[in-house]
Amino acid sequence: MSSTRTTPPSPAGTGRSVRRPGDRVFAGTAKGAGILILVILAGVAAFLVVEAVPALTAPAEDIPGGGGLASYIAPLVFGTLLAAVIALLVATPLAVAISLFIGYYAPRRIAQGLGYLVDLLAAIPSIVYGFWGIFWLAPKLVPFYQWLERDLGFIPLFAGPASTTGRTMLTTGLVLAVMILPIISAISREVFLQVPSLHREAALALGATRWEMIRMAVLPYGRSGVIGGAMLGLGRALGETMAVAIVLSVSGGITFNLISSGNPSTIAANIALEFPESSGIDINTLIASGLALFVITLAVNMLARAIVNRRADFSGAN
Amino acid sequence: MAKRIDVSDLNIYYGNFLAVENVNVSIEPRSITALIGPSGCGKSTFLRSINRMHEVIPGGRVEGKIVMDGQDLYGADVDPVDVRRQIGMVFQRPNPFPTMSIYENVAAGIRLNNKRMRKSDLDDLVERSLRGANLWNEVKDRLNRPGAGLSGGQQQRLCIARAIAVEPDVLLMDEPASALDPISTLAIEDLMADLKERFTIVIVTHNMQQAARVSEQTGFFNLSGVGQPGRLIEFNPTEKIFSNPDQKATEDYISGRFG
């Protein structure tokens, strides 16, 4: 995606010398797999663009809502980003803490079981998360939201009025956080365990405590892996459909008020909810919103790669 | 500064396996003590037990006494973290922190000691440590570049600079030159000759010429067979070890009859 990736050095002896059939087959398969990814990506992008064109060119009053495509999609984009960012802010520190506990603090037997349990979270279907969110988590959070409104209402995020069902943006973000937790923690755990003992012993021999050793050797080494995991999680949070469609109470436009019942929907949930009722230009509008989601996800991934590459010299990969 | 280390009746275990048996030795301050012996004889294990790095390995434990200037390093109220701050270590493979610059690597130990230091003082200390490790002239223009970008020999001297920046009493070196070319090895050996003015140095080496070149005292470790614990066979002035050792096994080893 970004151009800073270095090309691997060509192995000695290729070029003019004899190429073995095994090498040729393997190189061809690898190249084919690489090209296939590009073809699929291009195919999806082309489909989205072609189907979105009627909505892009339609007069404003034909678009649902009557205010034109931009004003239809804007709240959806906002809702998508808001829910995903909440999820990421909650899940990333938690996932890093879990991985560090599993890797460096827990007794080995407990660590294994705990890691397995966290991975299990990823196996739960998103519709189950949706039900869990609406029937269990949301009602439990209602008193908390009332407290937030009463005591912290001066912060615009908690202005209220507090939802009586608990089906708020914050609840949605928390459900998404639980859903992306296993993704981020699985990847963080792997990179933390891969920190060479050489580096860990270097810190310990300098007189580092366990936490200082983690801060000096483990976290910096695992940083790009954690960012990568967080971006994978963000990708899932951005595109999550079912759980959001069930949990989030949608009515209203752009607002930073996290605890009221008037929330913008997210792109994916909106498509799922509206699609069965749509025809003609309405479908094109939904696909155009899907194109927006595609672009957002792509941008997020490129941003993540840029962050990881910015300090590539210091990554420890050499 | 440089302190004396007295080891008495030291047994070192990996879980239930006795790896090194009954070591009794006195290590003099302001001198270089070399430990030689065949692979697996426990000399590195012994070295790591001096700064309590042995117990970092799961199951690693020690019985017996190591006393540094009257302080029992394995006393009940002694924090291994404090021991390691007084006894620096250089490893077999250079291990600068890959995510830190050259400057940050040298300053890492100071930052750990939670000393709030003025930037100019820290700059001075980093320069002094890098000069002490004979590295300053080679890196002074790229202090903010990653330490991992240096050559192997430079990285090892960077690790030495990092170890001496915290002004330890003792410096342990675990085959510090075994991954380096002869020129870099020479640079490290010259450096050790300078450093022994200020530190007590203990070096493990596979290179007997190196032991003969740099050290005042030499200890020879050996083990009687696979699965048997390693022992300190002989500990004597280096000159005596290499000319007229007390033990037949030592003579066999240094004259190349085995090992």
Domain boundaries, chain B: 5-93+169-254
Q: Does A127 reside within a domain?
A: yes
Rounded Cα distance between B82 and B79, Å, is 5
Rounded Cα distance between A82 and A258, Å, is 9
Number of H helices, E strands in chain B: 10, 10
Which stretches of chain B are DSSP H helices?
43-50, 80-86, 102-112, 119-132, 136-139, 152-165, 182-195, 208-214, 238-243, 248-254
User: Which residues from A are below 8 Å from B95, CB to CB?
Assistant: 196, 198-199, 201-202
B96 and chain A in contact, CB less than 8 A: yes
Whose structure tokens read 């005292």?
A: B217
Do the Cβ atoms of B99 and A316 come within 8 Å?
yes
> Residue B54 gets which letter from DSSP?
G
In chain A, which residue's Cα lies nearest the Cα of B146? Answer: A314
Whose structure tokens read 């349990």?
A: A117
Residue B146 has its nearest CB partner, among A198, A217, A314, at A314
Q: Which domain holds residue A289?
A: 24-314
- The whole-angstrom distance between B251's CA and the closest CA on chain A is 34
Task: With residue B87 as reference, give the H or E element that holds it.
Answer: strand B87-90
A104 and chain B in contact, CB less than 8 A: no
DSSP string over chain A: --TTPPPPPPPTT-SSSPPPHHHHHHHHHHHHHHHHHHHHHHHHHHHHHHHHHHHHHS-GGGSTTSS-HHHHHHHHHHHHHHHHHHHHHHHHHHHHHHHHIIIIIS-HHHHHHHHHHHHHHTTS-HHHHHHIIIIIIHHHHHHHHHHHHHHHTTSGGG-SPPPSS--SHHHHHHHHHHHHHHHHHHHHHHHHHTS-HHHHHHHHHTT--HHHHIIIIIHHHHHHHHHHHHHHHHHHHHH--HHHHHH--B-SS-----SSS-B---HHHHHHHHGGG--THHHHHHHHHHHHHHHHHHHHHHHHHHHHHHTGGGSS--
Do the Cβ atoms of B84 and A204 come within 8 Å?
yes
Do the Cβ atoms of A206 and B98 come within 8 Å?
no
Is B26 a residue whose pLDDT tops 60? yes
Dihedral, CA of residue B50, residue B214, residue B156 and residue B143, to nearest 10: 110
Q: Which residues have C-beta within 8 Å of that of residue B225, sequence separation ≥ 6?
A: none
Is B149 a residue whose pLDDT tops 70? yes
- Which amino acid appears at position A143 of this protein? P
Between B174 and B181, where is the model more confident?
Answer: B174
A220 and chain B in contact, CB less than 8 A: yes
A208 and chain B in contact, CB less than 8 A: yes
Residue A2 has a pLDDT of 44
Residue A313 has a pLDDT of 60
DSSP string over A42-103: HHHHHHHHHHHHHHHHS-GGGSTTSS-HHHHHHHHHHHHHHHHHHHHHHHHHHHHHHHHIII
Closest CA to A76 of A245, A278, A234, A247: A245
Q: What's the number of domains chain A is made of?
A: 1
Q: Does A167 reside within a domain?
A: yes
B151 and chain A in contact, CB less than 8 A: no
Rounded Cα distance between A228 and A238, Å, is 15
> Residue B249 gets which letter from DSSP?
H
Q: Does A15 reside within a domain?
A: no
B179 and chain A in contact, CB less than 8 A: no
Residue A312 has a pLDDT of 62
Contact A199, B93 (CB under 8 A): no
Pairing relation of β-strands B230-237 and B217-223? antiparallel
Do the Cβ atoms of B84 and A201 come within 8 Å?
no
The per-residue pLDDT of chain A, averaged, comes to 86
Residue A25 has a pLDDT of 93
Contact A39, A45 (CB under 8 A): no
User: Which residues from A are below 8 Å from B99, CB to CB?
Assistant: 220-221, 223, 311, 314-316
CA-based torsion, A106, A110, A116, A117: positive or negative: negative
Residue A206 has its nearest CB partner, among B99, B108, B146, at B108
Q: What is the CATH number of the domain that holds A139?
A: 1.10.3720.10
A·B CB contacts under 8 A = 79
Residue A89 has a pLDDT of 95
- Chain B contacts in chain A segment 187-206 (CB below 8 A): 196, 198-199, 201-206
A313 and chain B in contact, CB less than 8 A: yes
Residue A3 has a pLDDT of 45
Contact B126, B107 (CB under 8 A): yes
Rounded Cα distance between B99 and A191, Å, is 14
User: Which residues from A are below 8 Å from B85, CB to CB?
Assistant: 206-207
Summarised one tens digit per residue, pLDDT across range A169-227 is: 999 999 999 999 999 999 899 889 888 888 999 999 998 999 999 998 899 888 888 98
Q: State what percent of residues in chain B have pLDDT above 90.
A: 52
User: Which residues from A are below 8 Å from B49, CB to CB?
Assistant: none
Residue B1 has a pLDDT of 61
First to last CA, chain B: 36
The per-residue pLDDT of chain B, averaged, comes to 89
In chain A, which residue's Cα lies nearest the Cα of B156? Answer: A202
Contact B37, B222 (CB under 8 A): yes
Whose structure tokens read 């077999």?
A: B92
- The whole-angstrom distance between B244's CA and the closest CA on chain A is 36
Q: Does A193 reside within a domain?
A: yes
The fold adopted by the segment(s) B5-93+169-254 is Rossmann fold (3.40.50)
Residue A101 has a pLDDT of 92
DSSP string over B150-198: S-HHHHHHHHHHHHHHT--SEEEEESTTTTS-HHHHHHHHHHHHHHTTT
Q: Does A1 reside within a domain?
A: no
Q: Three-state DSSP class for B39?
A: coil
In chain B, which residue's Cα lies nearest the Cα of A222? Answer: B99
User: Which residues from B are below 8 Å from A212, CB to CB?
Assistant: 112
> Residue B148 gets which letter from DSSP?
G
Q: What is the largest CA-CA distance in chain B?
A: 57
Is B259 a residue whose pLDDT tops 60? no
> Residue B41 gets which letter from DSSP?
S
User: Which residues from A are below 8 Å from B169, CB to CB?
Assistant: none
**Cα A193 to the center of its chain, rounded Å:** 23
pLDDT tens string, chain A, 318 residues long: the values are: 444 445 555 555 455 677 788 999 999 999 999 999 999 999 999 999 999 998 888 888 878 877 788 888 999 999 999 999 999 999 999 999 999 999 888 888 888 888 888 888 889 999 999 999 999 999 999 999 989 888 888 888 888 788 888 899 999 999 999 999 999 999 899 889 888 888 999 999 998 999 999 998 899 888 888 988 898 899 889 988 889 999 988 887 788 888 888 888 999 999 999 888 888 888 999 999 999 999 999 898 888 888 777 766 665 544
> Residue B94 gets which letter from DSSP?
-
Residues in chain B: 259
Residue A170 has a pLDDT of 92
ipTM here: 0.88
Do the Cβ atoms of A206 and B146 come within 8 Å?
no
Whose structure tokens read 């230091």?
A: B117
User: Which residues from A are below 8 Å from B52, CB to CB?
Assistant: none
